[in-house]
A = this chain, B = another copy of it.
Amino acid sequence: MELLEKRILKDGKIGKGNILKVDSFVNHQIDVAFISLLAKEFKRRFEGEEINKILTIEASGIGIACIVAQEFNVPVVFAKKQKTVNIAGDVYTSKVESFTHKNTYDIIVSKEFLNNEDKILIIDDFLAKGSALNGLINLISDAKATIVGAGIIIEKAYQEGGKMIRDMGIRVESLARIKSMKENGEIEFIN
């Protein structure tokens, strides 16, 4: 999506460890009007699909998911991150490894909000190694709900997550796919 690629080139910053920071419009400050345009693009790409719920993960996914949810006219459920999970029988749980923060955490969703009749669109800001997305997919599988697909704002296509998830037969729509990225600010996209 050209609009997004231009914005990444304009406002994205490449930090230490080859981390792409889009703090000024996605991850810390949220440019709600801009995200609305991305939401319309997700709506266009998943047009005709039956979707009754959007699933995301806290924290930075929540705002984006809520804006996308307005396009689809469905509620959002966000998986909560927990250091230690109280494995009660009333939640689905999965493990996620954060390569940015170098730790592993549990994510949970209450069984009340995810069930076998749900047709889920996953929304998240980034897809890199795919650990968070894979965790969300596990929660959906445990609930025997249907995964319609995943809508991602920025995919680091040079990392393995996108291939891994697509190889599972899951539709992944990424609005910007980064082919390569250099510390001098050069970013190449896959069209």
Chain A residues near B (Cβ < 8 Å): 23-25, 28-33, 35-36, 58-60, 62-67, 69-70, 73-78, 80, 109-110, 112-113
Residue of B nearest to A68 (CB): B32
Q: Given that A36-B70, A73-B33 are contacting pairs, would A28 and B110 also be in contact in the complex, using a CB cutoff of 8 Å?
A: yes
Q: How many copies of this chain does the complex contain?
A: 2
Residues from chain B with a CB closer than 8 A to the CB of A113 are 23-24, 28-29
Interface of A is mostly: helix
B70 touches A29 (CB 8 A): no
Residues from chain B with a CB closer than 8 A to the CB of A30 are 62, 66, 69, 75-78
Q: List 8 A-B contacts (CB under 8 A).
A: A24-B112, A28-B77, A28-B110, A32-B70, A33-B70, A35-B66, A58-B58, A63-B66
Minimum Cβ distance to chain B for residue A69 (Å): 4
8 nearest A-B pairs in the assembled complex, by CB-CB distance: A58-B59, A63-B66, A59-B59, A32-B69, A30-B76, A29-B113, A62-B63, A62-B62
Minimum Cβ distance to chain B for residue A37 (Å): 12
Separation of A22 and B70 alpha carbons in the complex (Å): 20
Minimum Cβ distance to chain B for residue A123 (Å): 11
Residue of B nearest to A70 (CB): B32
Partner of A80, one of B59, B63, B66, B67: B59
